Structure 1
Amino acid sequence: MGNNICIWIFIVCLALSRGVQASDLELRNLKWDWEVYDQTTDQYIPYFKQSQTEAIRFKVDLNKYRNSYLKLTLPDQYFIWVQDELVYATPRPIIKYISLDSLYDLYDASTIHLTIYNESFDGNAIESIIVNLNQESRLWQGEDTLLERQGSNKSDLFIIISLISLSLIAILRAFNFRLFNEFLSLGKSIQLRQNFDLIIAHAPLAWPNIAFILFYSALIGSSVMSCDIFLTESNVVFPFTVGGSSSLILGLKISAYCFVFIIAKLLLIIAGSELFKLKKVRLVHFFTYFRLSLIFSIVAFSLSIVNGVFDGAMVNDYWKLIQISIVLFCSARVVLIYFVLNKIYTFRKLHLFSYLCSSELIPLLLFFKIFLK
């Protein structure tokens, strides 16, 4: 009887010792770092228990917590984004350990942002803690299977997007070779006395021109999509994005915005030319603007391919330089339009400048405010 009691005491002590060994050494509770998006201020603000939200975001310093783990306790039907990329959905309540060293290798960034989403978000049911695990605990936890993100998946999506865009270029060039060359002639686009005889043969909203507007929108959308796939820096934010949007949805949104913007630009030019009694400039103005925009979209698409070949190094390392280049291009386009219209038609300079303020400068300043935000 005494021997049996001793055996049971030994088993209980062994179990307790295993439990202590498998316990987590908490380094930081990330709940204090939770942020929610405030639509009124267009900024992230600290999360409070009374906050009404569907998603929270928090930052993890991967350099500070090397050889550590992120412990996530989540109910079912919660979604996890890493760097604005959906990586996991919880089919059931889980407690998951993610190696921060693995995240560092995957994203090649010193800090990352994680977002947790659910339509009925319950902050009390969620834990996000950085912990240290000993060797036995790591074996007990098993291999980390949370992240499904793989470099090959990014490359496959990038290749598909690039091939579709290149196919669009080839199809449009084959079906309307002369108009394609006319629109994309760099030499003609920067001349002060521009010739639009072939282009103006069709009304601005005729089907051939609509096809080129759709082509322009698709190229800009695919360029943003290709760059977004490889993003690792959280300070790179494309205009009009919504937190958590996938690269595909983002590209489609940007394409739709570009198409609507070009149509709105045409209507603005028509309205401005009516207001300032400059009806004869509207076609030259619009096609000068659109031809330069179309050439820009080709350049942007080409650079997005180079960016993808180098795994996103261009956008991640030179985002500010890219922003400055886009600002300079847009500003130079306005200056060129002024000289083109002034060369072809004899207007009072102040009258022409007033017209361009309403049709070019004010919309451009609004774009800069959004793009540089």
Structure 2
Amino acid sequence: MSKPLPEAWQSQYEVIKNLNREWVTIDDNNRYVPYIDKSMAEVPVVGVILEVSRYSSNKLLVCTPANSAVLIEKKISSYHQEEACVLLDVDSLKTVYQKDKILISVFQSKKKFENVGIWAVQSKTTSALHSANLSYKRDISILQDFFTSAILTLLIFYAVLINQYPRIYKNLYSLTRVFSFKVREDNSRIRLINEAHIMFLIQHCFLVAFLFIMLVSTTDLIQVEVPYLDFQPTTYVRYMLLWGQVSLLVLAAIWLKYIIVMLFGTLFKLRQLRVLYMLDYMRMSLIYSAFLFVLLIIIFAGIGYYNNYYFNLIIYLFILLASLRVIVLYFRLFRSASFRNIYLFSYICVAEVIPLLIGLEILVI
């Protein structure tokens, strides 16, 4: 929507940002989604998620039709029986609520949203004082800076690996090998631990850590409390440090999984399948994480990170892909096993199902 600033305010203020194009509303699942039309608003509420640091030293002008309420962080700030406009100081909001993002919304029982307007404005007097030497402060978002740096690093990593190990890259990222129920490798010729596979594993750890940090920072489904790790960094440097720390934890978890797989493979007398399982597991993990990486870039850079609904979908998609991996691995190993019994099912439970359930219990609320 491109609703103009009311004439009564045009002589005093100028628009910094028309926020009517960034409205969110509540759908039938009680989730905040981008507002497109009235049919989407199951609850008669529209608003914006205000990034307060971006509009520091400015004002927020909210105009409403009659019988409307202005809400701040889901609590009524004011109610107006007549058509009215409310001017909010952005810096005061940050001081009171101690948040980087604040939800400003309007409740209108009759859904007369065409008469609602929200703008970030600044005083024309203040603007005139600086007109001779006007400078704009770059919109600083620590998460955006980390996002940009991380994807550039990961893309460089991808480019180096593709050029350095082209044949292994084609083997590991083969969709036909991933989704086929047939075993295509000769078990005697597979070497899991070599230079190329370790390099792909390191890149994979950085990628998984990046995905995890971004989802923790943008969704409300994951709650993490790990000693000595701060999952709410306040500076760019701390984000990069957290990335390195989480990458090390992911690497340790994968090596632990490798040890468990080898031990239980011996215990269940599935020695021939241990290496095949780890190779297929690595293939699927690399392809799934690459797919989620592309999807995250599209959502964060394209749609915007103000709405966690789309990031929640990535988590559900990860669960779906992990479940699919369990099914594919079981049937693939089942066909290649020299005997078919409960050992194979127990092996899959130990290697895949139990770690997945533990992860969901600990991380996803």
Settle same-fold status: TM greater than 0.5.
yes
**Deviation (angstroms), 1:196:** 3.2
Shift of 1:63: 5.3
Query: The residue matched to 2:103 in structure 1 has which SS?
Result: coil
Aligned residue identity for 1:193: K
- 1:200, 1:166 → 2: CA distance? 33
1:238 is displaced (CA, Å) by 5.6
**1:351 corresponds to which residue?**
343
Query: Alpha-carbon deviation of 1:265?
Result: 1.2
Could you tell me which residue of structure 2 aligns to residue 287 of structure 1?
279
Residues 228 and 273 of structure 1, relative CA distance in 2, 3 Å threshold:
closer
SS of residue in 2 equivalent to 1:369:
helix
One-letter identity of the residue aligned with 1:176: Y
CA contact (8 A) 2:73 2:103 kept: no
Does residue 99 (structure 1) correspond to residue 93 (structure 2)? The answer is yes
Cα RMSD over matched residues?
A: 3.5
Q: Which runs of 5+ in 2 are unaligned?
A: 1-71, 79-86, 106-125, 127-136
| Counterpart residue number, 2:180 | 191
Distance 2:313 2:141 in 1: 28
Check the 8 A contact 1:227/1:308 in 2, yes or no: no
What's the % identity of the aligned pairs? 23
Amino acid paired to 1:220: V
Q: Could you tell me how far apart the structure 2 residues matched to 1:314 and 1:340 are?
A: 41
Partner of 1:219: 207
Q: 1:353 to 1:237 in 2, by over 3 A?
A: same
Listed as ranges, the matches of 1:1-373 within 5 Å are 61=73, 64-65=76-77, 98-100=92-94, 107=101, 109=103, 150-151=139-140, 154-197=143-186, 201=189, 203-227=191-215, 231=218, 236-237=222-223, 240=226, 242-245=230-233, 246-310=238-302, 312-313=304-305, 316-373=308-365
Aligned counterpart, 1:86: none
Q: How far apart, CA to CA, are the structure 1 residues paired with 2:303 and 2:216?
A: 11
Quickly say closer, same or farther: Cα 1:244–1:222, change in 2 above 3 A: closer
CA distance in 2, matches of 1:243, 1:223: 13
Per-residue CA distance 1:155-199 (angstroms, 9 max, x = gap): 4432222111100000001000000110011121111113235x9
Distance 1:106-1:275 versus aligned 2 partners, 3 A rule: closer
Asked if 1 retains the 8 angstrom alpha-carbon contact of 2:265 and 2:347, the reply is yes
TM-score for both structures, normalised by structure 2? 0.59
| 1:13-40 deviation digits (Å, cap 9, x = unpaired) | xxxxxxxxxxxxxxxxxxxxxxxxxxxx
CA contact (8 A) 1:62 1:104 kept: no
Shift of 1:223: 2.8
Show CA shifts across 1:19-78 (max 9, x none): xxxxxxxxxxxxxxxxxxxxxxxxxxxxxxxxxxxxxxxxx83754485679xxxxxxxx
Unaligned runs of 5+ in 1: 1-59, 71-96, 112-138, 140-147
Deviation at 1:336, TM superposition (A): 0.8
* Structure 2 residue aligned with 1:121: none
Assess, with a 3 A threshold, how the Cα gap between structure 1 residues 234 and 367 changes in structure 2: closer, same or farther. Answer: closer
Residues 364 and 228 of structure 1: is their aligned pair in 2 closer, same or farther, counting only changes over 3 Å?
closer
Measured in 2, the distance between the counterparts of 1:251 and 1:226 equals 10
Verify the 8 A CA contact 1:193 1:340 in the aligned structure 2.
yes
Deviation at 1:256, TM superposition (A): 1.6
Q: Under a length normalisation based on structure 1, what TM-score does the superposition of the two structures give?
A: 0.58
Counterparts of 2:159 and 2:202 in 1: how far apart (Å)?
14
Asked whether the equivalents of residues 266 and 286 of structure 1 are also in contact (C-alpha less than 8 Å), the reply is yes
* Distance change >3 Å, CA 69–CA 260, structure 1 → 2: same
Q: Report if aligned partners of 1:269, 1:282 keep a CA contact under 8 Å in 2.
A: yes
350-359 vs 310-319, greater mean Cα deviation: 310-319
| Count, aligned residues | 250
Looking at CA atoms only, which structure, 1 or 2, has the larger radius of gyration? 1
In the aligned structure 1, how far is the partner of 2:96 from the partner of 2:190?
56
State the distance in 1 between where 2:212 and 2:350 align: 28
Contact residue 299 and residue 310 of structure 2 kept, 8 A: no
Which letter does structure 2 place at the counterpart of 1:270?
M
Decide whether the 8 Å contact of 1:192 with 1:339 is kept in 2.
Answer: yes
CA contact (8 A) 2:261 2:351 kept: yes
Please give the per-residue CA displacement for 1:309-337, whole angstroms capped at 9, x wherever unaligned.
13644871234433322222111111111
Deviation at 1:266, TM superposition (A): 0.9
